[in-house]
Amino acid sequence: MARPQPQGIKFREPPIFERGTKGRSGASLSPLDVPDVDPAAHFGALARKEAAGLPEVSEPEAFRHFVRLSQWNFCIDSQLYPLGSCTMKYNPKINEWAARIPAFLKMHPETPDELAQGSLEVMWHVQQMLSAVSGMDACSLQPSAGAQGELTGLMMMRAYHASKGRSPKKVFIPESAHGTNPASCALNGLVAVKIEKNPGGVVTPQEVLAAIEREGGDDVCGLMITNPNTLGVYEKHLPEIIEIVHGKGGLVYGDGANTNAIMGHARPGDIGVDVIHINLHKTFTTPHGGGGPGSGPVCFKKHLEPFQPGPVLVRKDDGTFAFDRDRPQSIGRLRAFYGNFGMFIRAYTYLREMGGEGLKMASALAVLNARYLWAMLKDTYAAPVPEACMHEVVLSDVDLEKATGVKTLDVAKRLLDYGFHAPTIYFPLVVPGALMIEPTETETKETLDEFIDAMKAIAREAQEDPALVKGAPHNTVVGRLDEARAARQPRLRWRPQAG
């Protein structure tokens, strides 16, 4: 039985600005050995007239402040983080070593191609490996996030249609899609058309055809589809659906943000998908959350190659690597320099370490873990999805709420008291009271059992003492926040108290 675990010590620490004293410093600087200048002479009115008001603290005060803040936060290095659809997975520490190898880390972004061969070679191999995993012909590493990958892929689709003298506007998207899908359409001047469906199911060819016909049957730019979908279910009709979309002149965009359910088992390219993005910060082990770096490479078929972002990294006949800048049909540059280069190193390290067999095993275990949670929790929380889940399981607590008044948010907050990060809640929107749990492949059975115990304990508490659950979290440094106020009136800066 998992016991509530204190997350930190519950008293108010003075903010760093209220610590220290005038003249105290943690730094020892060498004496000035260049002429002292008057900032006003260089910067005019922009020069500071008084000191910036930074805290004057000792070195231990400064590092204790930051270490303490890091401990108040929930992180994957200390606990299970089953945030569905976000794949908060394994972040091997050796990746961090590799990404910090000085020759990679310190390379100047303007280094000429001839002097950056090692870095370009790593990027080229990552392109090859991601193309192989997705079953595509080529890959661009430029996009800085999944959403930017979507933007890129849709721009390429538009450019493809334009090259054929067409400009279709409609992109069909199942209701369960990630919110970034319709947003990327809007940014591209395209119209997102929802394919409505009942919760739990997979998209059927009939539904797709009906949606296209309802819209007049032409003007089909394409379909955007996530597989497995956000209910964690494999879209088994995808080959037929793709045939329908292609038959209407459209292209198929695969949202591959979370590829860890199928890698090594099924390849979107083989199924007929034309373009896909993959999130390196989900499946390919860069830590994410908290505004960390993102990378959303796009992989695509031959017919989309001329339109990919430029310049294009290629291996020349003599075996050296270079950027090909002569791409007249390219949609252009999406990102300065190479993209989020450190993430390519992390993905490369992981891909090389795992190999094809390792990736195949990782997705098998991700599915096994999710199905284990489904089997153990479906009698305590409703399982609205009739199909066996893939890498994530969607449960619902609507029955619990009816019986006890305890809401999904309360269950999520109470999980923090048990030392677990909450799963994704209220998403996908098609499932009322959704709890979307993604355990990932790296969690042990013991950890999953502790999580299951906690989920069952919360359901029991909801019956016996609903106020306890509704008041959670009780063991964290800060309790329940006023989320609306935090969003509308965020206090992001410390200000001295008046008087």
Ligand X SMILES: *Cc1c(COP(=O)(O)O)cnc(C)c1O
Give the other-Cβ count within 10 Å of 290's Cβ: 8
Confirm or reject binding of residue 226 to ligand X (CB under 6 A): yes
Q: How far is the CB of 258 from ligand X (least distance, A)?
A: 5
Centroid of chain to Cα 275: 18
- CA dist 250 and 411 (Å) reads 43
Q: How far is the CB of 33 from ligand X (least distance, A)?
A: 46
Under rule CB under 6 A, how many of the chain's residues touch ligand X? 14
Confirm or reject binding of residue 285 to ligand X (CB under 6 A): no
Q: Which is nearer to ligand X, 294 or 309 (CB)?
A: 294
Confirm or reject binding of residue 85 to ligand X (CB under 6 A): yes
Residues 179-208 that bind ligand X (CB under 6 A): 180
Q: How far is the CB of 128 from ligand X (least distance, A)?
A: 22
Q: Which is nearer to ligand X, 143 or 168 (CB)?
A: 143
Q: How far is the CB of 49 from ligand X (least distance, A)?
A: 42
Confirm or reject binding of residue 178 to ligand X (CB under 6 A): yes
Q: Which is nearer to ligand X, 183 or 365 (CB)?
A: 183
Confirm or reject binding of residue 286 to ligand X (CB under 6 A): no
- Return the residue of 255, 305, 397, 417 that touches ligand X, per CB under 6 A: 255
- Return the residue of 222, 228, 269, 296 that touches ligand X, per CB under 6 A: 296
The 3 state secondary structure assigned to the chain is CCCCCCCCCCCCCCCHHHCCCCCCCCCCCCCCCCCCCCHHHHHHHHCCCCCCCCCCCCHHHHHHHHHHHHHHCCCCCCCCCCECCCCCCCCCHHHHHHHCCHHHHCCCCCCCHHHCHHHHHHHHHHHHHHHHHHCCCEEECCCCCHHHHHHHHHHHHHHHHHHCCCCCCEEEEECCCCCHHHHHHHHCCCEEEEECCCCCCCCCHHHHHHHHHHCCCCCEEEEEEECCCCCCCCCCCHHHHHHHHHHCCCEEEEEECCHHHCCCCCCHHHHCCCEEEECCCCCCCCCCCCCCCCCCCEEECHHHHHHCCCCEEEECCCCCEEEECCCCCCCCCCCCCCCCHHHHHHHHHHHHHHHHHHHHHHHHHHHHHHHHHHHHHCCCCECCCCCCCCCCEEEECHHHHHHHCCCHHHHHHHHHHCCCCCCEECCCCCCCCEEEECCCCCCCHHHHHHHHHHHHHHHHHHHHCHHHHHCCCCCCCCCCCCHHHHHHCCCCCCCCCCC
470 Cβ neighbours under 8 A, 6+ residues apart: 405, 406, 407, 410
Hey, CA dihedral for 489, 182, 230, 194, is it positive or negative?
A: positive
Q: How far is the CB of 334 from ligand X (least distance, A)?
A: 13
Confirm or reject binding of residue 231 to ligand X (CB under 6 A): no
Q: How far is the CB of 63 from ligand X (least distance, A)?
A: 31
* Window of 252-260, 392-400, 435-443, 466-474 that interacts with ligand X by CB under 6 A: 252-260
- Return the residue of 138, 231, 257, 299 that touches ligand X, per CB under 6 A: 257
On the question of a cis peptide bond just before residue 311, with omega within 30 degrees of 0, the verdict is yes
Give the other-Cβ count within 10 Å of 51's Cβ: 7
Q: How far is the CB of 179 from ligand X (least distance, A)?
A: 8
- Return the residue of 188, 258, 363, 369 that touches ligand X, per CB under 6 A: 258
- Return the residue of 227, 279, 330, 349 that touches ligand X, per CB under 6 A: 279
* Window of 69-77, 165-173, 251-259, 475-483 that interacts with ligand X by CB under 6 A: 251-259
Q: How far is the CB of 257 from ligand X (least distance, A)?
A: 3
Q: How far is the CB of 226 from ligand X (least distance, A)?
A: 5
Q: How far is the CB of 84 from ligand X (least distance, A)?
A: 9
Among all residues, whose Cβ is closest to ligand X?
A: 146
Q: How far is the CB of 343 from ligand X (least distance, A)?
A: 11
Which x/- pattern over 43-82 shows residues binding ligand X (rule: CB under 6 A)? ----------------------------------------
Confirm or reject binding of residue 394 to ligand X (CB under 6 A): no
* Window of 44-52, 250-258, 398-406, 435-443 that interacts with ligand X by CB under 6 A: 250-258
Q: Which is nearer to ligand X, 127 or 176 (CB)?
A: 176
Q: How far is the CB of 148 from ligand X (least distance, A)?
A: 7
What the block records as the tokens of 56 is 């004057």
* Window of 54-62, 253-261, 409-417, 423-431 that interacts with ligand X by CB under 6 A: 253-261
Q: Which is nearer to ligand X, 127 or 226 (CB)?
A: 226
Residues 96-155 that bind ligand X (CB under 6 A): 145-147
What residues make contact with ligand X under the rule CB under 6 A? Answer: 85-86, 145-147, 178, 180, 226, 255, 257-258, 279, 294, 296
